């Protein structure tokens, strides 16, 4: 095995950090690794993948993958390569999360990928209430050993299928229904006057849902405009350097203290 392709979707950076650490670990074992961040506007037509091993990372949203993951997988055509699906979540391997990869695995199989391995990584939770700094440091300190474990599994082409209980399928289905509210959340994000029009939110929206609108006579800066394809990753709200974005619907889902992975991981030498 020589070539590995890693695709990841990320909102606030936890999944990206995990994917990057794994890519670097595999490179240090002489694999050629291609990393690719998933953006919704890159999804068009069918993309054929020629790789020896494919790895798909996503954050868990409402006990499932975010919607763009399903669209992404449907637009790929694999070559029966061995495949790993890695989910990243605030709760980790708790029971309610255990069916979160099922739908993605089903679509991957349909797209000609041979899924042989699945794993969950725990990262600090970004939804509603983030853990305090001490707890985040404790969670993040386990990450290097988890990445070692996954890297070994990929290198040895380990086969591992998780046990899923019927109740988790039910929770996962309820979570899919809950995700319908994400569109409403995105349409309700308000831009405050302190926005400088820097465009960071536009560039980073993995769902390609934000456009910068040109200046008007009343606004000195271009302003972000939100479309109706928000997947509620919370990236734009937490990462805005001016704290200029505020939800008008579903605001309880944001931690008022903010969430900055750069600060949360400051004590860990990655």
Ligand X SMILES: Cc1cc2nc3c(=O)[nH]c(=O)nc-3n(C[C@H](O)[C@H](O)[C@H](O)COP(=O)(O)O)c2cc1C
Subset of 176-205 contacting ligand SF4 (CB under 6 A): 186, 191, 195-201, 205
Specify the 3-state DSSP secondary structure of 250: coil
Contact range with ligand SF4 by CB under 6 A, out of 83-91, 108-116, 147-155, 225-233: 225-233
Q: Which residue has the tokens 């969670």?
A: 139
Closest separation in Å from C-beta 202 to ligand SF4: 7
* Residue 151 interaction partner, one of ligand SF4, ligand X, none, beta carbon < 5-8 Å per kind: none
Beta carbons of 233 and 189 less than 8 angstroms apart: no
Spatial separation of the C-alpha atoms in residues 14 and 100, rounded to whole Å: 17
Binding of ligand SF4 by 210 (CB under 6 A): yes
Strands 76-77 and 47-48: parallel
Binding of ligand SF4 by 151 (CB under 6 A): no
53/58 with CB nearer ligand SF4: 58
Specify the 3-state DSSP secondary structure of 266: coil
Strands (E), the chain: 3-8, 32-37, 47-48, 53-59, 76-77, 82-89, 114-122, 189-191, 210-213, 223-226, 245-247
DSSP 187-209: HTEEEPTT-----HHHHH-TT--
Subset of 121-140 contacting ligand X (CB under 6 A): 123, 125-127
Closest separation in Å from C-beta 258 to ligand SF4: 13
Residues whose CB falls within 8 Å of the CB of residue 72, separated by 6 or more in sequence, listed in order: 7, 9, 38, 43
Binding of ligand X by 26 (CB under 6 A): no
Give the residue, chosen from 19, 88, 120, 232, that forms a contact with ligand SF4 under the rule CB under 6 A: 232
* Residue 242 interaction partner, one of ligand SF4, ligand X, none, beta carbon < 5-8 Å per kind: ligand SF4
Q: Token digits for 16?
A: 């990206």
Binding of ligand X by 204 (CB under 6 A): no
Specify the 3-state DSSP secondary structure of 256: coil
Binding of ligand X by 98 (CB under 6 A): no
Q: What are phi and psi of 216, to 5 degrees?
A: -120, 180
92/181 with CB nearer ligand SF4: 181
Give the residue, chosen from 245, 254, 261, 264, that forms a contact with ligand SF4 under the rule CB under 6 A: 245
Spatial separation of the C-alpha atoms in residues 91 and 97, rounded to whole Å: 8
Closest separation in Å from C-beta 208 to ligand X: 16
166/252 with CB nearer ligand X: 252
Contacts with ligand SF4, residue ranges (CB under 6 A): 11, 186, 191, 195-201, 205, 207, 209-210, 224, 226, 230-236, 240, 242, 244-245
Contacts with ligand X, residue ranges (CB under 6 A): 10-16, 59-63, 88-91, 97, 123, 125-127, 232-234
């Amino acid at each position: 095995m020589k070539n590995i392709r890693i695709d990841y979707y990320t909102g606030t950076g936890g999944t990206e950090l995990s994917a990057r650490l794994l890519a670097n670990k595999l490179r240090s074992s002489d694999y050629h690794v291609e990393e690719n961040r998933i953006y919704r506007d890159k999804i068009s037509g069918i993309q054929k993948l020629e790789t020896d091993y494919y790895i798909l990372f996503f954050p868990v949203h409402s006990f499932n993958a975010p919607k763009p993951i399903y669209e992404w997988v449907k637009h790929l055509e694999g070559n029966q390569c061995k495949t790993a699906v890695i989910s990243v979540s605030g709760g980790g391997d708790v029971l309610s999360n255990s069916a979160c990869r099922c739908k993605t695995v089903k679509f991957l199989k349909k797209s000609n990928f041979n899924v042989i391995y699945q794993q969950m990584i725990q990262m600090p939770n970004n939804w509603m209430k983030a853990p305090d700094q001490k707890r985040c440091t404790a969670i993040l300190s386990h990450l290097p050993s988890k990445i070692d474990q996954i890297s070994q599994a990929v290198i040895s082409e380990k086969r591992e299928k998780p046990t899923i209980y019927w109740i988790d399928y039910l929770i996962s289905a309820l979570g899919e229904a809950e995700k319908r509210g994400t569109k409403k959340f995105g349409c309700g994000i308000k831009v405050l006057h302190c926005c400088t029009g820097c465009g960071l939110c536009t560039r980073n929206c993995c769902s390609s849902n934000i456009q910068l609108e040109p200046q008007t006579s009343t606004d000195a800066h271009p302003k972000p405009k939100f479309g109706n394809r928000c997947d509620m990753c919370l990236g734009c709200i937490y990462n805005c350097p001016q704290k200029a974005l505020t939800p008008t619907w579903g605001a309880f889902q944001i931690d008022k203290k903010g969430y900055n992975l750069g600060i949360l991981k400051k004590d860990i030498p990655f």
